[in-house]
C-alpha cells in the first residue's frame, strides 16, 4: 500500500478561504505576523464547526480512498496552536475512528514529520509539494480550478484512486 498524506486546510475544509474572508471583513492586512496572530487566537472549535465547510465532499471521498485498499491514509496538517490541532482532530474523529492525524507546527516542513520517499501528499500549497517532491515524494495539487502549478491537479480527493492506479501503483 502507498502512504497517502492529505492536507486539511484548503483540501478537506475551506478554512483558508473563510479565514481570509474574515480578514477582509475585519480589515486585517494579510501579512505573516497578522495571519499567525489571528489563527493562534482563533476559537478553532467554533471556526471549524460553525463557519467552515467540507470541500467537494471531502469526507466521503476519504472514505472511498480508504475503502479502495490502495493507501495507508493519514491527515498531515500545519497548525499554529494546540487548540487548532485539537479542533481539527476532533472534527476528523467525528467521521473516522482509526485514521492517523499528524499536526505539524507551522515552522516545520511537512517533509520533516514523515517518510516522504514514494509517499503521496495531496496539498493545495505548491510550496509544500515542491519540498515534498524534493525529498522523493509524489505531489498532487488540490485545486478547485484544476490549476496544477506543475503538479497533477485534482479537485476531488477520490480522484487520487484512478491517478494512483494509472501512474503510481507499479512504481512503489
pLDDT tens string 51-62? 999 999 999 999
Domain ranges for the chain:
2-12+54-167, 15-51
* Separation of alpha carbons 2 and 71, rounded Å: 5
What CATH code is assigned to 2-12+54-167? 3.40.50.1000
Phi, psi of 5 (to 5 degrees): -110, 130
Q: What is the mean pLDDT of residues 83-94?
A: 97
Q: Is residue 172 scored above 50 in pLDDT?
A: no
Query: How far is it, in rounded angstroms, from Cα 137 to Cα 148?
Result: 16
Quick one: average pLDDT of 122-126?
97
Q: What is the pTM of this model?
A: 0.94
8 Å CB contact between 112 and 105: no
- Strands 2-6 and 138-142, by their bridges, are unpaired
Amino acid at each position: 500500500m502507498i502512504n497517502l498524506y492529505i492536507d486539511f486546510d484548503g483540501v478537506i475544509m475551506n478554512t483558508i478561504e473563510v479565514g481570509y474572508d474574515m480578514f477582509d471583513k475585519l480589515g486585517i492586512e494579510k501579512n505573516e505576523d497578522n495571519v499567525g496572530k489571528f489563527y493562534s487566537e482563533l476559537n478553532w472549535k467554533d471556526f471549524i464547526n460553525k463557519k467552515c465547510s467540507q470541500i467537494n465532499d471531502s469526507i466521503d471521498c476519504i472514505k472511498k480512498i480508504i475503502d479502495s485498499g490502495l493507501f495507508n491514509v493519514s491527515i498531515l496538517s500545519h497548525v499554529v496552536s494546540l487548540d487548532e490541532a485539537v479542533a481539527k482532530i476532533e472534527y476528523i474523529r467525528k467521521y473516522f475512528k482509526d485514521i492517523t492525524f499528524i499536526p505539524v507546527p507551522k515552522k516545520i516542513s511537512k517533509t520533516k514529520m514523515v517518510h516522504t520517499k514514494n509517499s503521496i501528499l495531496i496539498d493545495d500549497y505548491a510550496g509544500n509539494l515542491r519540498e515534498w517532491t524534493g525529498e522523493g515524494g509524489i505531489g498532487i495539487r488540490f485545486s478547485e480550478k484544476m490549476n496544477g502549478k506543475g503538479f497533477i491537479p485534482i479537485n476531488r480527493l477520490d480522484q487520487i484512486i484512478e491517478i494512483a492506479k494509472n501512474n503510481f501503483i507499479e512504481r512503489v
